[in-house]
Chain A
């Protein structure tokens, strides 16, 4: 009997920021601002980031894991499309993530901004479909060898 090849996972992260919703929303709408918190990280180098902030507009992020990480050299591609935008209230984005050559997940991310006395409460709901084991032989041949080589270099 076949087994399911998709794992579904939803998580919610909440934050409170001492700034009004307009400031928080601007960090989503402006590409230069969004790049700084969404794209940039200490563990990877950003190779491409593009943002077309409108319903139907695309968001693309491509990055490569750095030296000193177990997955040095591996490229991750995140491609999304904005599904719904309500100014200063919410941004909803549907996206896929590709690791090397393999598409590994599809996600719906809903960010809601709620005005409070102290600033803004942000609620991030991430609904993900993770594709594992759907191409076993491919994992063994391509993905496994690649990751294995990277890990081996890190662990020696």
Chain B
């Protein structure tokens, strides 16, 4: 990893800052799965972000991987650790991981910047939750969103439910969570999740264009508006971690994770 005050070129993610816009590019094969290495990279990023944000007005997050924005948690790593550590020790590790990733996501959520997720393709589970930390989601028309966690006997654990509840009606949250179905960018725009749907390969360009527009406004006023309209749902986030850890203790989760890991399919839990 090569890092300077306003840029970092890492193997999992990279960032740059130019003209008041910070760009975080995710580029970990196959589809930016969030495991311990990517969490460390995100922690490094938010440390740098706290220094960079004084000179910035916007943060764009996007993926350079063809399959999509992010396929969610690294379930293979989770299964390996769960097997190696035993259940009690594994759940301690899971809680520690969740608390760390919540800290990172809360920092991005509350960052004094206008944050934009430019998404395409697979935006599932933890990837969907990362996008939900942003103020705006701009989606390529081939983007697809999903919370598949119930198929594993779990709930989304990276803050997805509290943030969806904050941003959308509870009926939408229940549909996405309880059916585990995926839906496309057009549907996401209809329910108010996505602010702009653009052509294939155009999400980053549209996000940059939006960031250029944001620069025209008084930043302090924009951030006062953000703080007013986008509170962090701390209590629900804390309860989400507790519930995830409680569910993780179930033997059904071990079986579901084992099936997932042993499947040769690209998306073993779909349709």
Query: Are A and B bound to each other?
Result: no
